[in-house]
């Protein structure tokens, strides 16, 4: 594939999402505003009002209805998109499971924000982490450029006939959603060609016909039935199979997109930064990775063998990659911008430790809960993490494996 010329636009994260959606031949956007996602829906409304898109834009009366409408639109054969954050995503909770169970390839941008109570509009990842069991693919962007690229890729990943799972693209609230960057955007035709039109798998209907999987009066079919204990389990197994397939699809789409743009995000699932000869490593998601990389570069000049594993795809969790890339570390700090109360640490910590349990070598792994409610994390604090790691690596027992970074004790 020939590399395509991009031009540069100054966009914040939300604007980049709206722009990517504009270019991706989306049929239906049903959404409800919530800080810090509001710019996505506002910008998109402008596109609609100026006739720049042929998308049906539905301002639903709540997020729960927004996702229900997107789900139904998707099952009718439309390409559907929505966006939310925090309480809005939490309100969608029931429908997240339904969307995944119905195998509808809805794409949703989440401007990651803290959950109430108390009310907080700022960025952390507790909203999407709380939905990790829902059967949605979850991809996290480090910067606005990646946000733009990932939304475009998300349509291909979700709609892949081996996958057919709804997909969340997470961008850190305010840190990315409201921060202006220079973004290389593709020409409209290039995005259109990349996303293509939806392909439908064929299913057997109750009229003994094989038909494309969508609501079509020519091929009556029933979707969303009640499945009793004799069948429900099998549908859940299918969703898990789709998640396994997604591990391959995400890598493949990343590679294909890289051919088109020259931009690749690790292998699509994880990005390793200066990890090959590292002894101490941080694991994190999203924009914090950018700060960590800067700290690593400084530490390297001081001969500290520091590295970073940024997890891009949290669902499906890339167990193989995480195990392979971290097993030879001496000490690992997993940074979680969310907390699973009563669970001894955050979700990324749990899953990283789990990935390493069966490894040949076992680095010491500690957890830093940070950034909750939009609390900023500084390069100095990250440097402190690496200092701690060097002590942990030397075998100094960590009294607490779960620590809090930037908390006033």
Partner 1 sequence: MTGQEWKFTSKEIAEKPELFLSGHRACAGCGPATVLRLIMKATRGPTIVTEATGCMEVASSIYPYTSWGTPWLHTAFETVAANASGIEAALKALKKKGRLKHAHVDVIAIAGDGGTYDIGFQALSGAVERGHDFLFVLYDNEAYMNTGIQRSGGTPLGAATTTSPAGTVVPGKLEHKKPIAEIMVAHEMPYVATASPYYWRDLIAKARKGLEVEGPAFLHVFAPCPRGWRTEPAKTIEYSRLAVETCVFPLWEAVDGKYSLSIPSRVFARAPEKKKPVTEYLKGQGRFRHLFMPQNKALLETIQRLTDEKWLKLLKKCGEATVSEPASSSS
Partner 2 sequence: MSHEKSWREIAPAGVCFKSSLTFLTGDWKTYMPIRDREKCTLCLLCVLYCPDAAINWHPDKQNIEFDYNYCKGCGICANECPTKAITMKLPEE
Measure the CA–CA gap between 285 and 270, rounded to whole angstroms: 10
Measure the CA–CA gap between 200 and 214, rounded to whole angstroms: 8
Is 235 a binding residue for partner 2 by CB under 8 A? The answer is yes
Contact with partner 1 (CB under 8 A) among 28, 41, 326, 389: 28
- Stretch near partner 1 under the rule CB under 8 A, chosen from 27-35, 273-281, 340-348, 396-404: 27-35
Is 55 a binding residue for partner 1 by CB under 8 A? The answer is yes
Contact with partner 2 (CB under 8 A) among 203, 298, 359, 393: 203
- In sequence order, which residues have a C-beta less than 8 Å from that of residue 242 and are 6 or more positions away? 103, 162, 163, 164, 165
Pick 72 or 154: Cβ nearer partner 1: 72
Is 215 a binding residue for partner 1 by CB under 8 A? The answer is yes
Strand partners, 236: none
| Cβ at position 56, least distance to partner 1 in Å | 4
Measure the CA–CA gap between 298 and 1, rounded to whole angstroms: 37
Contact with partner 2 (CB under 8 A) among 5, 197, 238, 259: 238
Contact between 354 and 347 (Cβ < 8 Å): no
| Cβ at position 265, least distance to partner 2 in Å | 28
Is 231 a binding residue for partner 1 by CB under 8 A? The answer is yes
Give how far Cα 230 sits from Cα of 73, 204, 227, 234, Å.
29, 19, 7, 9
In three-state secondary structure terms, 184 is strand
Pick 77 or 406: Cβ nearer partner 1: 77
| Cβ at position 72, least distance to partner 1 in Å | 3
Two tokens at 218? 């020519």
Contact with partner 2 (CB under 8 A) among 188, 189, 241, 320: 241
The count of residues in the chain is 409
- Binders in 78-117 for partner 2, by CB under 8 A: 101-104
Is 387 a binding residue for partner 2 by CB under 8 A? The answer is no
Contact with partner 1 (CB under 8 A) among 118, 222, 380, 399: 222
Measure the CA–CA gap between 407 and 409, rounded to whole angstroms: 6
Q: If you ran DSSP here, which 8-state letter would residue 398 be given?
A: P
Mutual angle of helices 232-261 and 144-159, in 10-degree steps = 130
Measure the CA–CA gap between 135 and 82, rounded to whole angstroms: 17
Is 74 a binding residue for partner 1 by CB under 8 A? The answer is yes
Is 228 a binding residue for partner 1 by CB under 8 A? The answer is yes
Which among partner 1, partner 2, none contacts residue 134 (Cβ within 5 to 8 A by kind)? none
| Cβ at position 137, least distance to partner 2 in Å | 15
| Total chain residues near partner 2 (CB under 8 A) | 28
Contact with partner 2 (CB under 8 A) among 48, 130, 221, 359: 221
Contact with partner 2 (CB under 8 A) among 2, 7, 199, 237: 237
**Locus of tokens 């690790």:** 266
Closest CA to 236 of 135, 376, 154, 124: 135
Two tokens at 352? 């990283």
Is 62 a binding residue for partner 1 by CB under 8 A? The answer is yes
**Strand order through the sheet with 331-336:** 270-273, 306-311, 280-284, 331-336, 364-370, 402-405
Which residues would be at the binding site for partner 1 (CB under 8 A)? 27-28, 30, 54-56, 58-62, 64-66, 68-78, 80, 94-95, 98, 102, 197, 206, 215-228, 231
Which residues would be at the binding site for partner 2 (CB under 8 A)? 75, 101-104, 164, 201, 203-207, 213, 221-225, 227, 230-231, 233-235, 237-238, 241-242
């Amino acid at each position: 594939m020939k590399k395509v010329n991009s031009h540069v636009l100054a966009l914040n994260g939300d604007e980049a999402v709206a722009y990517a959606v504009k270019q991706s031949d989306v049929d239906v956007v049903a959404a409800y505003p919530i800080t810090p996602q509001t710019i996505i829906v506002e910008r998109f409304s402008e596109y609609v009002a100026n006739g720049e898109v042929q998308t049906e834009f539905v301002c639903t009366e709540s997020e729960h209805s927004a996702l229900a409408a997107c789900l139904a639109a998707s099952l009718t054969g439309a390409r559907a998109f929505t966006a939310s954050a925090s309480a809005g995503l939490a309100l969608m909770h029931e429908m997240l499971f339904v969307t995944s169970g119905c195998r509808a390839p809805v794409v949703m941008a989440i401007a990651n924000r803290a959950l109430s109570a108390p009310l907080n509009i700022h960025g952390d990842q507790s909203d999407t982490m709380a939905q990790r069991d829902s059967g949605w693919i979850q991809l996290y962007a480090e910067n606005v450029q990646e946000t733009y690229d990932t939304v475009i890729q998300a349509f291909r990943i979700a709609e892949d006939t081996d996958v057919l799972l709804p997909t969340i693209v997470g961008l850190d609230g305010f840190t990315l959603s409201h921060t202006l960057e220079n973004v290389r955007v593709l020409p409209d035709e290039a995005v259109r060609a990349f996303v293509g039109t939806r392909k439908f798998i064929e299913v057997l209907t109750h009229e003994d016909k094989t038909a494309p999987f969508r609501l079509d009066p020519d091929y009556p079919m029933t979707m969303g039935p009640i499945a009793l204990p004799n069948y429900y389990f099998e549908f859940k197994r299918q969703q898990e199979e789709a998640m396994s397939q997604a591990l391959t699809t995400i890598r493949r789409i990343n590679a294909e997109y890289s051919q088109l743009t020259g931009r690749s995000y690790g292998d699509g699932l994880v990005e390793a930064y200066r990890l090959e000869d590292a002894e101490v490593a941080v694991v994190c998601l999203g924009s914090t990775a950018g700060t960590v990389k800067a700290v690593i570069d400084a530490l390297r000049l001081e001969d500290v063998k520091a590295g970073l594993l940024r997890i891009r795809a949290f669902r499906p969790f890339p167990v193989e990659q995480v195990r392979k890339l971290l097993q030879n570390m001496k000490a690992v700090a997993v940074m979680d911008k969310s907390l699973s109360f009563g669970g001894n640490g955050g979700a990324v910590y749990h899953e990283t430790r789990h990935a390493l349990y069966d490894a040949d070598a076992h680095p010491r792994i500690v957890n830093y809960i940070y950034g909750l409610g939009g609390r900023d994390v500084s390069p100095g604090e990250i440097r402190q993490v690496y200092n701690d790691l060097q002590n942990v690596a030397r075998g100094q027992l960590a009294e607490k494996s779960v620590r809090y970074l930037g908390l006033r004790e």
